[in-house]
Amino acid sequence: MSVHPITAQEAFLRAPHASNIASNPAPHAAPEPGTPKRHAPQDPASHAKAGKGKEAAQLLPFDAIIDVRSEGEFALDHWPGAVNWPVLNNAERELIGTIYKQVGSFEAKKKGAALVAANIARHIQAHVLDLPNNWQPLIYCWRGGKRSGSISTVLSQIGFRVHLLEGGYKSFRQGVVADIPKLIEPLRFEVICGPTGCGKTRLLQSLKSLGAQVLDLEDLANHRSSVLGFIPGSPQPSQKHFDTLVWQTLRGFDPARVIYVESESKKVGNLSVPVELIEKMRQSPCRVLELSLAERVALLMEDYEFLVLDPELFIRKLEALVTLRGRALIDAWSEETRQGRIAHVVQELLEHHYDPTYLTSMKRNFTALHEARIVSLSSRHPKPLMDAAAFILQDLPR
């Protein structure tokens, strides 16, 4: 066997989409947990795109996507479904860099080679010994050079057909950025609008449970998209990894069917939504979800229970609104919170902050809002939401 260079665009055609990563068992490989399994391509046209002269074996998806960068590099962003087999870990990379600067490149290369060889041996012992000879991985590092080249050479000498990503992670990242607008262009969106606490996210979840295509940007961004929208103990992904997650999700959509998405702003927490996606959403048909003020307050008390249970944390988060709402009002809300009147503070937040801000933004940005169809909910509970989702799916061809 040998090492086969492959471009990012060629690799995209063979990598699993968001809807089928690790969803089906591989026919024979036994990689570590989390390794993506072999799947048939979702798009039948992908065979033609890959080139008519290619061998059939070359069109098969990879049995694994292996990122051999350090765990720190991997955490910032990586190919969805990839597993991390560092040939140099964080501490080792730092050590080699120090030797390079303080001693010289020759000594750094010797030490690096020893560490890389030892790490490759450990990965083979841990992950490779039980694999069949027709196992085909895709391997990449930062630029597709020494790190990925080293482990690819060893695996190819064992007898595996190894695919090496040309340009490494950098080419993958460039490919993702270039691919997102192309993926968005043929898609049809319907935007679920409505004021804070009306159940937009719950409706998306109901739509998804009924088989609809849903793009949940808040889920991908790990944030509820408001000043109070952080998820405690669970940081947001990096901007690059958020882009990658959006890209991977878009790849799994069927352009012939509508995609439902919430009326997000340009940013979800600290993360920016791709410009092309925002523009497409803002030109798309809308539905406005309605729910009574009392039910909205109750819904927010449920969804933000961690703030209800930690009043001082809630008060600290309210400080972000001082510039917009003034010190006097924030101090008043803080005092009410300490007195246990959080529900009243939530209602005031909706009436004096979230609702006016949301309405102004929606009228300015969503061009089809004036033609939006209304969906009224009797309560925040599951049955009305499922009924609304079923109505929406019957009301618009998919």
pLDDT in tens, 23-59: 333 333 333 333 333 333 333 333 333 333 344 344 4
> Of 259, 272, 288, which is closest to residue 368 (Cα–Cα)?
288
Structure tokens given for 274: 């791709």
| pLDDT at residue number 228 | 77
Please give the distance of CA 82 from its chain centroid, rounded to a whole number: 14
Render pLDDT for 210-239 as a digit per residue (tens, 0 to 9).
Answer: 999 999 999 999 998 877 777 777 899 999
User: Which residues have CB under 8 Å from 159's CB, separation 6+?
Assistant: 1, 133
| pLDDT at residue number 2 | 82
Residue that finishes a domain, picked among 177, 199, 231: 177
Q: Is the C-alpha dihedral spanning 58, 63, 67, 72 positive or negative?
A: positive
Domain of residue 162 covers 3-177
| pLDDT at residue number 60 | 67
Do 12 and 161 sit in the same domain of this protein?
Answer: yes
Given the residues 141, 193, 198, 286, the one annotated as active site: 141
Please give the distance of CA 381 from its chain centroid, rounded to a whole number: 28
| pLDDT at residue number 29 | 33
Do 293 and 368 sit in the same domain of this protein?
Answer: yes
Do 193 and 109 sit in the same domain of this protein?
Answer: no
Do 172 and 194 sit in the same domain of this protein?
Answer: no
Q: Rounded mean pLDDT of 372-384?
A: 96
Do 305 and 223 sit in the same domain of this protein?
Answer: yes
User: Which CATH number belongs to the domain containing residue 272 in this structure?
Assistant: 3.40.50.300
Residue 198 annotated in active site: no
- In 94-228, which ranges are E strands? 137-140, 162-165, 188-193, 213-215
In DSSP terms, which residues pair with 179 in a beta bridge?
none
Do 74 and 106 sit in the same domain of this protein?
Answer: yes
Render pLDDT for 338-369 as a digit per residue (tens, 0 to 9).
Answer: 999 999 999 999 999 999 989 899 999 999 99
Q: Is the pLDDT of residue 190 over 70?
A: yes
Do 156 and 225 sit in the same domain of this protein?
Answer: no
Residue that finishes a domain, picked among 177, 208, 243: 177
- Kindly state the percentage of the chain with pLDDT values over 70: 88
Render pLDDT for 240-267 as a digit per residue (tens, 0 to 9).
Answer: 999 999 999 999 999 999 999 999 999 9
Q: Rounded mean pLDDT of 277-281?
A: 97
| pLDDT at residue number 18 | 53
Q: How far apart are CA 261 and CA 269, in angstroms?
A: 17
Residue that finishes a domain, picked among 177, 210, 232: 177
Residue at 75: amino acid letter: A
pLDDT band with cut points at 50, 70 and 90 for residue 290: very high
| pLDDT at residue number 58 | 44
Do 274 and 352 sit in the same domain of this protein?
Answer: yes
| pLDDT at residue number 40 | 35
Q: Rounded mean pLDDT of 72-89?
A: 97
For helices 105-123 and 146-158, the axis angle rounded to 10 degrees is 40
Most confident of 45-59, 219-233, 314-328, 374-388: 374-388
Do 42 and 98 sit in the same domain of this protein?
Answer: yes
User: Which CATH number belongs to the domain containing residue 162 in this structure?
Assistant: 3.40.250.10
Render pLDDT for 157-182 as a digit per residue (tens, 0 to 9).
Answer: 999 999 999 999 999 999 999 999 99
Do 143 and 222 sit in the same domain of this protein?
Answer: no
Average pLDDT, the chain: 88
> Of 100, 66, 64, which is closest to residue 86 (Cα–Cα)?
66
Do 196 and 336 sit in the same domain of this protein?
Answer: yes
| pLDDT at residue number 61 | 87
Angle at 374 between CA 368 and CA 380, to 5 degrees: 125
Do 249 and 373 sit in the same domain of this protein?
Answer: yes
Contact in structure between 210 and 389 (CB atoms under 8 Å): yes
| pLDDT at residue number 234 | 86
Count up the domains in the chain and report the number: 2
Render pLDDT for 96-147 as a digit per residue (tens, 0 to 9).
Answer: 999 999 999 999 999 999 999 999 999 999 999 999 999 999 999 999 889 9
